[in-house]
Structure formats: structure tokens, C-alpha cells
Amino acid sequence: MGSLCCSRVIHAGSDPARTRANIAKYKLDVPGARLTSNYDEMVTAADVDIVSIASPNHLHAEQAVAAAKAGKHFLLEKPTGLDIGELVQIRDAVRRAGVRTIVSFELRYNPFLKCAHWLQSSGQVDTSARSSLRESVRDKQP
């Protein structure tokens, strides 16, 4: 496998040994990669520019705010926050720090969408039925 595009990779996960095993298993070439189980160590590292937040949902807001305060751009997995208060905290931290952020909307493996795709591709649902369902849902929105 080839090298990753980044000059430095730091992985903050709960199990660095498991990460090392996966790097070896998939024959990844990540020269100079550092592994840590300490998020604060990663987010405050001077050689880190971008942080990917894919931790348990209840940590997203706290980690996003910490990344922004540290001046790091970040990719945030859904859910971004668990309530309006957390969303406001993230928004305000991003605005104050002037960092860039993006939310990952990866739905490729969502079982509902896989089923919907199968229904459409197998001819079980046609375009007109899908449009009708969309209109029905939209009509019920407050």
C-alpha cells in the first residue's frame, strides 16, 4: 500500500495496540505516525492541523470545542451535538477560532438506505411512488 497523503498522522484512540495491529494487518505505510489514547495530547500537538472526530457520540461536542479552541480545523461525525446547547457551543467555538469544519454525512452503509436502494433497483419501488412518499412526508412536517 502507498503512504498516506499527510506528513504527520496522530491517532488518538482508546486502544493504541489495536491500532498498531490494524496498521500491520492492512500493511499501511504511515511513517512517523504517533499513537496516543489522550485526545488532549493530540489536539494540542503543534504539528496537527486537522482533527477527525469519530469518538462516541457523547464526546463530540466537547472534543469539537477543544479542537476549535486549539485552532484546529476538524471533521465531525454525526451527531454533531446531542442537543441545541451543544450545537451552539460548537458553532460559537468555531466562529471565535476562525477554523473550518465539516460534518460527515456518510450514509452508504445505513441499512435503511441499502434496503431502499435494493427496492428501487429491483423494481419494487418506482420513481412515482418515491415522489409520492416524499410529498406525503413533506405534507406532515409542521
> Considering only 27-36, 39-48, 55-64, which range has the smallest mean pLDDT?
27-36
Looking at the domain assignment, is residue 117 inside a domain? yes
- In whole numbers, what is the pLDDT of the chain averaged over residues? 81
Residue 13 CB-density burial (10 A; 0-12 exposed, 13-18 middle, 19+ buried): middle
Q: In terms of Cα–Cα distance, which of 76, 67, 15 is closest to 42?
A: 67
User: How many distinct helices (H) and strands (E) make up the chain?
Assistant: 6, 5
Return the percentage of the chain with pLDDT > 70, whole number: 78
Looking at the domain assignment, is residue 123 inside a domain? yes
Looking at the domain assignment, is residue 112 inside a domain? yes
Give the separation between CA 23 and CA 110, rounded to whole angstroms: 26
Looking at the domain assignment, is residue 130 inside a domain? yes
Could you give the number of structural domains in the chain? 1
Give the separation between CA 132 and CA 139, rounded to whole angstroms: 11
Round to the nearest angstrom and report the end-to-end CA distance of the chain.
51
Q: What three-state secondary structure class fits 40?
A: helix
